[in-house]
Structure 1
Amino acid sequence: MNLKIYNTQTRTKETFTPLEPQQVKMYCCGVTVYDYCHLGHARSYIFWDVVRRYLEWIGYTVKYVQNFTDIDDKILNRAKKENSSMEAVSERFIEAYFEDLRRLNIRDADAYPRATDNISEIYQLIQQLEKKGYAYASKGDVFYNVEKFPEYGKLSGRKQDQLQAGASGRVSGAEGEKKHSSDFALWKAAKPGEPAWKSPWGEGRPGWHIECSAMVRRLLGATIDIHGGGGDLIFPHHENEIAQSEAANCEPLARFWMHNGFVTVSGEKMSKSLGNFTTIRQLLETVDPMVIRLFVLGASYRKPLDFTNDAIASAENGWNTLKEGLLFKSQYGEKLGGWDDHEKPPALHSEAVERFQTAMDDDFNTPGGLAVLFELAKELRKEGNVLTHEGKTETPLKQIQQTWWTLVQLASVLGLEVDAEETSTDTTPGLSDQEIEDLVQQRLAARKAKNYAEGDQIRDRLKEAGITLIDRPGGETVWHR
């Protein structure tokens, strides 16, 4: 295997080798659960889902952990605004997260730790940092002393003299209470009316960055293979994770740091203030989930992804091509004859698999992988056209089966799968086979009586129902959905 991954920390593509043979430990920063997930979340979690699927496909066992931040100022502000509680807001949007992401065919992670369930682990980590001299208490807060960690900035490339006051993200506490402006909060003293936990430093709650360091260590160990997240997390969140974890554990936090690019809307940053903010559930009201997956995977994960009507229309066309190929067996299996559902699946098309893997091994090049899928789907479309117009094909059945099975398997690596209801013509909405046959005979009778207007009306009705008619020499008419 020659999988190469772009490592944000080294800014180069490196050959992937896990810490333990055939075992991959992977952590992805999850959402802060104060609102519905948006298109940027879809882009991120679709991609991490594909990373996991591909690693498993090439033979690795993957332990994938994704957290929920369920204590945060944004959650508390929403709870206050709604006269609700932190717990109620968190639960509501965690449930919404699963509803939205599962519709996109994103598989559940192996674990979804929550910050509030890991308070004791957070205490232990902060105390360890305090004993080693990396952390200090100040009026109920605890801060990380950035100057004590010489490698601070190695992920983002920022130097100490470039760090500005307030640059450390979600930090509370007066500037005078910190030794240096770039120090960040590990523990925040309780504010009146806010949830708080007892601690050696007084009642309070954890800082944002320490949560992930504690959860990674508890569930995956001191060092993991892949740490992923959006590009906006490189600094300060991931930089601070490194400082915390590596100071405490004296080991690298992650061998590979991966970050996906931003989503823009018609070239502009997506934001509520600009009125171009799109949640996943709003998008799914009008767009097929597989179209969204195809739209996301049609670009390199590290590049910006621009959401436009044209881009979605292109993805819809692409999905129609792939779906037609994926449904080939249910559409044409009976016409081919000898396609036994209980028969052992054929071997995959080795040349197509090799090209697919070559693309994906190059830093998860999903556009290159999709190109192979489209070639397979178009081969099947050609066979379908031959079967429709000529009633038979000269291509051996085994070859057609191999092409179809290869498409199905490779598409599943990218999470592109047809809804189960679409795989059987028995459940296809609209006209039944017998109703179609009756209308075809009515049309033939109308044409025989030279009532061409009625014949055209029947053809149009069938066309609206997704039925194509083909008139053959000798007065025969065949149809297909």
Structure 2
Amino acid sequence: MDSIKVHNSLKPGGPVPFVPIEKGKVSWYACGPTVYDQSHLGHARNYVSTDIIRRILAHYFGFDVKFVMNFTDIDDKIIIKARRQRLLDLEKKKNHTDAELKELVLAAFQAYAKSNLPALLEPADQPLTPENYNARRDVAYGNVLAGGALSPESKPGDAEAKVKMHISNMTSAVIALSGNSQVFKGAEEILLPYLDSLYKETIDTSDQSMFTDLTRFMEGEFTDDMDALNVLRPDVVTRVTEYVPQIATFVEKIVEKGFAYEAEGSVYFDIAAFEKAGNTYARLRPDSRNDKALQEEGEGSLSKALGGKRGAGDFALWKSSKPGEPYWPSKWGNGRPGWHIECSVMASDVLGSRMDLHSGGIDLAFPHHDNELAQSEAFYCEHGHEHTWVNYFLHMGHLSISGSKMSKSLKNFQTIKDALASTYTARSMRIVFLLGRWNDGVEISPDMRSQADSWESAVNNFFINTKSLLVEAAGTKNVDSAIGKLSLDPEKKKPTEGLLTDLEQAEKDLETALVNSFDTPQAMRIIMDIIRKANVQITTIKSDEDLSAVEAVARWVTRIVGILGLDANATPPYNGLGWAPSAAAVNVDPHVAVQPYEAVYKSVVSESKALQLPSSDAIESLLAASPAVEFESLANSGVRDPEQLALPFLRAVSRIRDELRRIAPTSSPDIKKSILALSDRIRDVDLTNLGVYLDDRTDNQPSLIKFIPAAELIAAREEKAAKEAEKARAKEEAKIAREKAEEEKWAKAKLAPEDMFKSDERYSDFDAEGMPTKMKDGSEVPKSQLKKLKKEWDRQKKAHGEYLAKFGGSSA
């Protein structure tokens, strides 16, 4: 195996060799979520991509991975949300009159505009009201609402997304004030910050349950979302609130070493002292070290009033708690941890002074991860020697929508729960992320989804076809017993050498892709390429050796998609073939599961017996057989996969149908018609509605049974019916057009040539054949015109003759 290379944010450029601290083992700390709201697709992008790399390291390369992840269960966002919700709940309990409530919302309305949408306050001499809001909104921000940018020279991004969010909140409040909805519900987003500005210092934070109730609930929601996405759970989970004493001790040591200082009850990291000692700050994002906006975002919105910093970039390790904020005791007074210090302490506690990997979203690179590095290296460095705390930083590209990062704060997100309930499956979402590089951004688009759906469909169909062929060729009762039963005869290997050689090359190419910084887009292309080649082999299978080569490809693809996490029920070493059955199959009642298939079987037997079929031992034997015996054997042996349980009845139906189609040509016309109608209905209606497709084959080969989602089969049936209906409509229209043309032809031909010009007012005299001789004014008909009229007369004479020959009679 070539050595693995990874993109390491600590060393910009191409991938660098990955050399773990301890051979065969990988220590990994991943920044987990701040649990204050539902998780969205941006979180899915981060944690699914992280999970993919973790699975590749553990299940493909065989590393023993120790994976640690934290939950940030106390920070400014959590404090603000929990406190504001408490204040809103208290406000709702007050006995407001309608006038008082309207006055409260109007005050919040004005305050919200002043803080977030100041352009709405122009002109200043005319107060903003719900009545003039729409007009002002359209003037001030109409361009942004139409998809434009705040400034003509820039492109829409996060700033514009934030404006749209604030406008949405303001608009909801206006609607609420109009009386068409509950005021508190509609105006909640503008009331929350306003109430917080009025009453935040009155909240008793000695009872921290308002914060922990929120975070414990959201932690559970996040875990459920990750389980639903087939993300492996961490080996170790840490929480900030469980580490506060250790954090305080950690900070004390940094202060003692001269790399931090206390000011007004808070403790700040001293960047100047750190660098003076020979250390490097902002190693991940040196160009961002003076970015004031990022620095402020990293400190948190509640920390703007903290004072005493020596350097503008110095960041808080410990924050003095103000009224309305939770607190813990420390030597500097009551306070709480800074955001960055939490990960340094928790990661170090579990993994020690060094770790192989540290990961998170790309937006965490600065200041969060840069600050983590600085404070951890300050803690561990000795005698002026710089300490390496993290060897490799992996940053996942973020997910964007309409040019802006998907985030909770911008409220431009779709929650994971909503996505899985509507537009995605866990598998389809993971495929989307696999089709992009883990360290690149992903833009949600219809093309992206279409490509992922196409890939999934191709793999699924390949598994379906291979399993169907194996069951038939091996003559077994289920797929599991068919796998691996065929073997390659060395003397007959020639027909399969091409595909087997292709598989060997695919295995090498896949490893090359994965050692190249986990290049999953290339891996997905390799999988698709070998499937295309195997599909070609499927169409020309002539022997067990040919099919065995296809099986080898299918089993290899099964292993790789299992490693990539595309099968929620598969576990290492990912043996078998195809996607594993759903989790629901484990507790299925066998008799309930097969009832629809058994009903179809009984119906087919009954209707077949009612037909006056030609004498046939084969059909009589098939109709007398009892697939229920085979089914009971499977159920009693513990099989709970609905597909396997259904196979006895489906095989019986398929064999009866095949035999009916074989004897149809020797039946009377009426019986033949009935047989073919029943055959088509079995395939296109009865089984299609159950998600089963019978693939009819030539040369008297038995039909293949394929399990395909019923929705796909029904959609295909409806599309086929629509095309046939359109074809029939076009045919009928063409027939009517032909009949009309024919009718017009004979109506015109019915007129005798002698009479065809006599109704033309241009002429006044005619000869015996009805040809005009004089014009209306008595002049002779011009010779050139006579020549043209004679041609018309000759054509009409011929047509009239055909009319008389067809219909008889005379022109009279």
- Fold shared per TM-score above 0.5: yes
Correspondence 1:303 to 2:306 = no
* 1:226-305 equivalences in 2 (<5 Å): 226-250=357-381, 251-271=387-407, 276-286=412-422, 287-305=424-442
1:64 to 46, 64, 67: 67
Correspondence 1:52 to 2:39 = no
Structure 2: how far apart are the matches of 1:159 and 1:88? 36
Counterpart AA for 1:411 = V
Larger radius of gyration: 2
Aligned to 2:262, the other structure's residue is in SS state strand
2:233 to 108, 124, 130: 108
Correspondence 1:86 to 2:211 = yes
Aligned to 1:169, the other structure's residue is in SS state helix
The more displaced of 392-401 and 357-366 is: 392-401
Counterpart AA for 1:90 = T
Contact 1:168 1:184 in 2 (8 A): no
Counterpart of 2:684 in structure 1 is: 460
Contact 1:443 1:458 in 2 (8 A): no
The more displaced of 348-357 and 254-263 is: 348-357
2:76 to 44, 63, 73: 73
Offset at 1:275? 6.5
2:519 to 353, 365, 368: 365
* 1:104-143 equivalences in 2 (<5 Å): 104-143=229-268
Counterpart AA for 1:70 = D
Counterpart AA for 2:234 = A
Counterpart AA for 1:239 = D
Contact 2:486 2:545 in 1 (8 A): no
Note closer, same or farther for the CA distance 1:331–1:158 as it changes in structure 2 (3 Å cut): same
Gaps of 5+ in 2: 87-208, 382-386, 489-499, 568-578, 586-640, 707-812
Offset at 1:50? 1.6
Contact 2:36 2:218 in 1 (8 A): yes
Counterpart of 1:6 in structure 2 is: 7
Structure 2: how far apart are the matches of 1:416 and 1:86? 36
Structure 1: how far apart are the matches of 2:217 and 2:449? 29
Contact 1:295 1:315 in 2 (8 A): yes
Offset at 1:412? 1.8
Structure 1: how far apart are the matches of 2:294 and 2:434? 38
Aligned to 2:7, the other structure's residue is in SS state strand
Counterpart of 2:124 in structure 1 is: none
Aligned to 1:64, the other structure's residue is in SS state strand
Structure 2: how far apart are the matches of 1:105 and 1:164? 36
Offset at 1:78? 2.4
Offset at 1:467? 3.4
Contact 1:130 1:136 in 2 (8 A): yes
Offset at 1:165? 8.9
Counterpart AA for 1:22 = G
Aligned to 2:329, the other structure's residue is in SS state coil
1:169 to 282, 292, 298: 298
Counterpart AA for 1:335 = E
2:673 to 446, 450, 469: 450
Note closer, same or farther for the CA distance 1:53–1:323 as it changes in structure 2 (3 Å cut): same
More strand, by proportion: 1
Offset at 1:67? 0.8
Aligned to 1:142, the other structure's residue is in SS state strand
Counterpart of 1:420 in structure 2 is: 581
More helix, by proportion: 2
The more displaced of 269-278 and 279-288 is: 269-278
Contact 1:188 1:205 in 2 (8 A): yes
1:410 to 560, 580, 590: 560
Offset at 1:394? 5.1
Aligned to 1:10, the other structure's residue is in SS state coil
Aligned to 1:359, the other structure's residue is in SS state helix
Correspondence 1:213 to 2:344 = yes
Measured against aligned partners, the alpha-carbon deviations of 1:262-319 in whole angstroms (never above 9, x if no partner) come to 2112444335687641111111113211110000110111221011233223212211
Aligned to 1:416, the other structure's residue is in SS state coil
Correspondence 1:399 to 2:549 = yes
Structure 1: how far apart are the matches of 2:681 and 2:289? 76
The more displaced of 192-201 and 431-440 is: 431-440
Contact 2:50 2:396 in 1 (8 A): no
Aligned to 1:312, the other structure's residue is in SS state helix
Q: Aligned residues, how many?
A: 476
2:283 to 142, 154, 164: 154
Higher relative contact order (CA 8 A, sep 6+): 1
Counterpart of 2:114 in structure 1 is: none
Offset at 1:357? 0.9
Offset at 1:109? 1.3
Structure 1: how far apart are the matches of 2:37 and 2:314? 29
Instruction: Tell me the TM-score normalised to structure 2 length.
Output: 0.54
Offset at 1:158? 2.7
Counterpart AA for 1:101 = M
Measured against aligned partners, the alpha-carbon deviations of 1:201-228 in whole angstroms (never above 9, x if no partner) come to 1111101100000011101111111111
Counterpart AA for 1:63 = K
RMSD: 3.2
Offset at 1:123? 1.4
Aligned to 2:286, the other structure's residue is in SS state coil
Contact 1:324 1:377 in 2 (8 A): no
The more displaced of 206-215 and 432-441 is: 432-441
Note closer, same or farther for the CA distance 1:235–1:437 as it changes in structure 2 (3 Å cut): same
Counterpart of 1:375 in structure 2 is: 529
Note closer, same or farther for the CA distance 1:419–1:204 as it changes in structure 2 (3 Å cut): farther
Note closer, same or farther for the CA distance 1:337–1:271 as it changes in structure 2 (3 Å cut): same
Offset at 1:231? 0.7
Contact 1:167 1:236 in 2 (8 A): no
Contact 1:70 1:114 in 2 (8 A): yes
Counterpart AA for 1:316 = D
Offset at 1:192? 2.4
Offset at 1:480? 2.2
Structure 1: how far apart are the matches of 2:409 and 2:321? 31
Offset at 1:322? 2.0
Note closer, same or farther for the CA distance 1:24–1:447 as it changes in structure 2 (3 Å cut): farther
Counterpart of 2:509 in structure 1 is: 355
The more displaced of 432-441 and 310-319 is: 432-441
